[in-house]
Amino acid sequence: MAELRALNPEDWNAPTDCERWRVKDIVAHLLGWAEFFTSASEFRLQLRALVPGKRELPTATDVQNELQVNDRRDLSPQELLAGLEKALPRFLTFRTRATRMAGIVPFYAGILGPATVGLLMATVFTRDVFMHRIDIARATGRELAVGESERRLVADVVRDWGRRSKADARLLLTGDAGGDYVLGSGSRARISGDPLEFCRIMSGRAEPEVMTVSGDREAAASWLGKKVVF
């Protein structure tokens, strides 16, 4: 919230890496998800938009994301912030309860594949917020504040990527959110770069070429082409 409160009026209209979305749209999207899980009326409204035959975008998630933005397009930045200040604490409470009570309930969702409610609530939504913080920082030319929480989040992304890609490499991510990781035997390639750029690659926002690679470059390019869910 502190990062959003620090934005200048012109920052809210800055274009982002998310196609068609400006900073204000990203914040509307985040508010939309928080309210989806904490408001019965909002829950019903968003679900109705997912009825087969009414979709104009490729996936149900795309439809839901766009609805969240469109329904909040007329809200001012101050109104969006007020909405988040109200909805986020309620969402965090809901997430804790849902993870505890239904964390092992299975479901299948596109690229996520076989998963559980706990994975969705505790991991995917956390990554989504983190990636949108990166989007906003890049769009507004601000440096993203990172610390131990972000380092743990990046480490979790690396572990997920290692499982999906079967990489056999040493991955050196520099900076406060980075770390030195050995995947497989770590012998076929050495990949290094910025941890935030690595996450952007994993989310499909950046190309693998932003990383420095030595050793088996072809294999490294193939591994970096395997995305994780954000």
Number of domains making up the chain: 2
Q: What is the CATH number of the domain that holds 212?
A: 3.30.1050.10
- In 3-state terms, the chain is what percent helix, strand and coil (to 5)? 60, 10, 30
Per-residue model confidence as pLDDT tens digits over 87-142: 999 988 988 887 776 656 656 555 556 666 667 777 888 999 999 999 999 999 99
Quick check: is 92 in a domain? yes
Which residues constitute the domain of residue 72? 2-140
Per the DSSP assignment, residues forming a β-bridge with 191 are 171, 213
Per-residue model confidence as pLDDT tens digits over 139-182: 999 999 999 999 999 999 999 999 999 999 999 999 999 999 99
Contacts of residue 227, defined as CB under 8 A and 6 or more positions apart, other chains included, come to: 111, 164, 202, 203, 204
Q: What is the CATH number of the domain that holds 131?
A: 1.20.120.450
Residue 37 and residue 84: Cα distance in Å, rounded? 13
Task: Kindly state whether residues 15 and 53 are assigned to the same domain.
Answer: yes
More confident: 101 or 195: 195
pTM exceeding the 0.85 threshold for the entire prediction: yes
- CB-based contact 136:23 (threshold 8 Å): yes
